[in-house]
Amino acid sequence: MPRYALLILPAFNRVYGESSVRLTRAELAVFSARALDGEVLGSEETRIGGVPYVTFETARPLSEPDIHLLSNLSSVYAVFGLEGDLLRPLGMHSRDRLSSDLITIQKYAGKTNEHFTKLLLNVTALAGDKGLGDGLQVFDPMCGRGTTLNQALMYGYDAYGMDVDGKDFEAYTGFIKTWLRNKRLKHTAETVPVRRERALVGRRLNVTFGLSKEAVKAGDVQHLAVVNADTLKSREFFKPRSFDVLATDAPYGVQHGSKGGAGLSRSPLELLARAVPGWAELLRPGGAMGIAWNTYGGKSEELARILTDAGLQVMDYPDFEHWVDQAIVRDIIVARKPA
């Protein structure tokens, strides 16, 4: 049977790097079940030349589209065919269409690891009918300083976000405007107040950009919008059935808690119980919702019940649980909206 090897991309975060092989194997299982033509029969960690690889077998040789899909695995640096003891490089072709510093340049306390953000977006999109296809509309209802939004933009998708923290909104607004100017991408960007019955209810950043003047003239543009307001009011800012993918990293209840009830709460479940029904209305039929959360703040069974009660179907996905620090063990749950 055909055998392949994935070279793991070194992680700047040492702790995440220690989990990257196991998480890659779990992510590969999702790709196999949801997207690949050639089924992955099994995977394992293998050290080749002292370097960790994920090796696996398939029922039949991987097609070129399969290899292109695997190029988007969150922690993969290169894909090889295994021929005895030799590695044969296979042509990588990721979705990325913007420079990687869009993801890596921001540095601040509490930033989610970029590899994990990509993993969350990948496995969530693959649960939906469109998979990792073209033209997705991605929404992060607790976007912070925009790591998930930036990953969606990297893939060529339109990105929409919402966050109640005014400082995070201003920081991301300043960053993305500066980044677009420095890259000399043709764009428009404006921040406007949002009013309801003359009362100020939030602020909204609207960005449209293309890779060149010619692309903009041809209508090949991407859209980014971020609202500075409470996520519990997301239905007031976005129309039902607007998004193909909703992916978010819930508050961990360590640095800033969550604002789902009276005062701050260590558990995000109170916030999610109130927010998820509204978020589900924003998903298109056949779309998918992925939530990362700190398992110290609630069990997966509790979160699954919240998603099910909102009319979503929880996916039977591999275990993505991994240790972050002494106060955080992070996991992912994904659910799809019936078509």
Neighbours of 142 (CB within 10 A): 25
Which residues on adjacent β-strands are paired with residue 86? Answer: 83
Distance CA 19, CA 144 (A): 24
Average pLDDT over every residue of 21-38: 94
**Model pLDDT, residue 251:** 84
Average pLDDT over every residue of 219-223: 96
Least trusted range by pLDDT, from 6-10, 65-69, 251-255:
251-255
Average pLDDT over every residue of 114-127: 96
For residue 130, pLDDT beyond 80 = yes
pLDDT category of residue 11 using cuts at 50, 70 and 90: low
For residue 255, pLDDT beyond 70 = no
Average pLDDT over every residue of 40-68: 93
**Model pLDDT, residue 254:** 43
Global model pTM greater than 0.85: yes
For tokens 């089924």, what's the residue? 39
Tens of pLDDT, residue by residue over 274-299, are 999 999 999 999 999 999 999 988 99
**Model pLDDT, residue 257:** 39
**Model pLDDT, residue 246:** 98
Least trusted range by pLDDT, from 21-35, 76-90, 257-271:
257-271
pLDDT category of residue 102 using cuts at 50, 70 and 90: very high
What are the tokens at 38? 């050639």
Least trusted range by pLDDT, from 68-77, 102-111, 328-337:
102-111
Q: Give residue limits of the domains in the chain.
A: 3-89, 100-337
Distance CA 261, CA 221 (A): 39
- CATH number of 100-337, picked from 3.30.750.210, 3.90.1170.50, 3.90.1150.10, 3.40.50.150: 3.40.50.150
Residues 317, 30: contact at Cβ < 8 Å?
yes
Distance from the Cα of residue 218 to its chain's centroid: 28
Average pLDDT over every residue of 150-167: 97
Distance CA 240, CA 281 (A): 5
